[in-house]
Structures are given as C-alpha cells and as structure tokens.
Amino acid sequence: MATLKELTSNPERLAGGHRLCAGCGASIAVRQILLAAGDTPLVAGCATGCLEVSTTIYPYSSWRVPFIHNAFENSAATVSGVEAAFKGLQRAGKIPANKKMKFVAFGGDGGTYDIGLQSLSGAMERGHDMVYVCYDNGAYMNTGIQRSSATPMGAWATTSEVGKAQQGKQQRRKDLTSIMAAHGIPYAAQASVSHWRDLTTKAEKAFAVEGPAFLNVLAPCPRGWRTASNQAIAIAKLAVQTGFWPMFEVEDGVWRQTVKVPERKPIEEFLKPQGRFKHLFTPENAEFLVTIQAEVDKYWEYIQKRCACEG
C-alpha cells in the first residue's frame, strides 16, 4: 500500500484543464486510480460518456498515456483486444518478453451496467490481463440524466420522472460488483472517491493481479445529483456511512469488508442533500422512504453475510 507521499510522486496521467464539471467524481476517481498504477507504461480506453467527451475535445487531450476512445458499449472489448495484441506481439518476438504494460478500461454506469455489460462480461470470462473501472454516477449523465440500472430507487431522472404515475425510479439498483465477482475473476472491489486510501489500495491490487480485475467506484455528479460542486466528497462519504455503498473487495473468491461502519446513519442523510430525491421528503412519500431504507438494509446485510461466510 503506497503512502500519500509515494502516490503524489507518481506521474500525473490525467492532466488538468479538462472540461469536466467542477466537483465531478469521475476525474477524482481517474486521478486516484492512475496514481496507484505507478510508473509502469499504461494504455487506457474509455467508453463514450462524460469522461471521454470532456477530456478529448479535438485537437486536445488530457490523457498523458496512449488513449483509445471507444463506442458507448465496447470499452472492455477494445482494451481486451489491445491486451491480446500486445501478448501476441510478445509471442512473435516483436516486443521483448520482459516488457511490462498495463491495460485499463473506463466506463460510466450507463456504458458498464447496461449497454456495455455483454462486452465487460466477455472480457472478464476470457481472462484478459486488464483492469476495468466503472465510475458510477448513477445515470446517463452525458446524454441528459436518463436513468440507468445503477440509478438508486426513488431518484428523479429525465426517464424516471416525478408525478402522478410515479415518484422517481421504482426499481432497486443493480449490484454489478457482485455480478463481476461471480465471474470468478482474481479481483473485484467496490470503492468511493471519498476514501482515497481504500480506493488507491484497491487500484494497486487490481493492477498487480495476473488476469482481469474490476473496480466499481462511486463518483458523484453535481449536475445529475442536483448538489453543489463542493459537496461531492461529503455526499460520497454519506453513501458509505449510511450503508448505501458498502466498501468491500473479493480477492481470489474471498470476500472482505474494507471499511467498517459500526453504526450506520439513516439513508435520509444521504438522500436529503441531493435535489434528485427532494420529492421523497413529502408526507405522501413517507412509506416510499421506508421501502428505500429496507432495500439499503437488505443489501447491507447481504454484503455482511458474504464477507462473514466467505472471508
């Protein structure tokens, strides 16, 4: 586990001056993860989304590594192909056998949980030596804040509106980290931009393993979450403290909770600062809040049991 001093001495591979929104969780996640990669040569791919369109506005790029822009759905497929080509060239003697290279794919929750899931699952099943990072901001933010399967229950989005028919999204969010762990890959973890040491430690592990690794990182979006730009880290911490976003890792099949929360806060403390949930705090939605708390409790208990039984 690298110290803060060691991390900050590593090369910055995402330059400043990009056009992501102030307070964007995606850029915070990418910087922390790439710092944890050390100084080994690295190739990055990124699905179409906020991160890509705001860091690669032609003719400029914020990436200080070889970078590939992929379609919305195929970041994992593209980067797995690059990894396979690199190994093929090594076998052919065109690249030294001892040369080290890391491969990382980035995607938002829309391009990961939903339309990129087939591509991601295939890359993990084939066993490519790569890291896939989902920056989870809970909606298709780049195209207009449409709901995704990562959108929390009760959240407003432009395709889960608030009105007579419904009060925001009615379905629970997908547990993608568990789905990736079920592939039997060497490493899968859930992390948050609010806990830099936990995130960078998990990123170090992900880059170090032989074979595929998956990181699911909570990355608040001030625009879509309807919050102030200086509140991203505070709200991400509340996600952890309320149990909405449990912090855990699955390493060679062993589940372990990495951030303990002895006394969870009520889910309302995570929801109240966000404008996308403001409709929940009306008398007519009191029962819906109870349902949301029950869903958070259920997921929390599930993670606790997995870590206790398989850890």
Kindly report, residue by residue over 219-244, the tens digit of the pLDDT: 999 999 999 999 999 999 999 999 99
The tokens describing 208, both together, are 């170090």
Q: Return the domain boundaries, the chain.
A: 4-310
Give residue 88's pLDDT.
98
Closest-CA residue to 126 (of 72, 184, 86):
184
pLDDT, tens digit (0-9, with 9 covering 90-100), for 192-225: 999 999 999 999 999 999 999 999 999 999 999 9
Is residue 263 scored above 60 in pLDDT?
A: yes
3-state secondary structure the chain: CCCHHHHHHCCCCECCCCCCCCCCHHHHHHHHHHHHCCCCCEEEEEECCHHHHHHCCCCCCCECCCEEEECCCCHHHHHHHHHHHHHHHHHCCCCCCCCCCEEEEEEEHHHHHHCCHHHHHHHHHHCCCCEEEEEECCCECCCCCECCCCCCCCCCECCECECCCCECCCCCCCCHHHHHHCCCCCEEEEEECCCHHHHHHHHHHHHHCCCCEEEEEECCCHHHHCCCCCCHHHHHHHHHHCCCCCCEEEECCEEEECCCCCCCCCCHHHHCCCHHHHHHCCHHHHHHHHHHHHHHHHHHHHHHHHHHHHC
Q: Taking the model in full, what pTM does it have?
A: 0.96
Give residue 32's pLDDT.
95
Half-sphere exposure of residue 201: CA atoms within 13 angstroms, side-chain side: 15
Instruction: Say what percent of the chain tops pLDDT 90.
Output: 94
Give residue 5's pLDDT.
82
Mean pLDDT confidence for 2-26: 90
Which CATH homologous superfamily contains domain 4-310? Thiamin diphosphate (ThDP)-binding fold, Pyr/PP domains (3.40.50.970)
Give residue 51's pLDDT.
96
End-to-end Cα, the chain, rounded Å: 20
Mean pLDDT confidence for 259-265: 96
Closest-CA residue to 182 (of 170, 173, 174, 191):
174
CA–CA gap between residue 193 and residue 29 (Å, rounded): 6
pLDDT, tens digit (0-9, with 9 covering 90-100), for 43-77: 999 999 999 999 999 999 999 999 999 999 999 99
Mean pLDDT confidence for 298-303: 98
Is residue 311 scored above 70 in pLDDT?
A: no
Give residue 309's pLDDT.
80
Give residue 4's pLDDT.
82
Split at pLDDT 50, 70, 90, the class of 87 is very high
Question: What mean pLDDT, rounded, does the chain reach?
Answer: 96
Mean pLDDT confidence for 156-178: 96
CB 139 within 8 A of CB 108: no
Q: Which of 87-101, 115-129, 297-311 has the least mean pLDDT?
A: 297-311
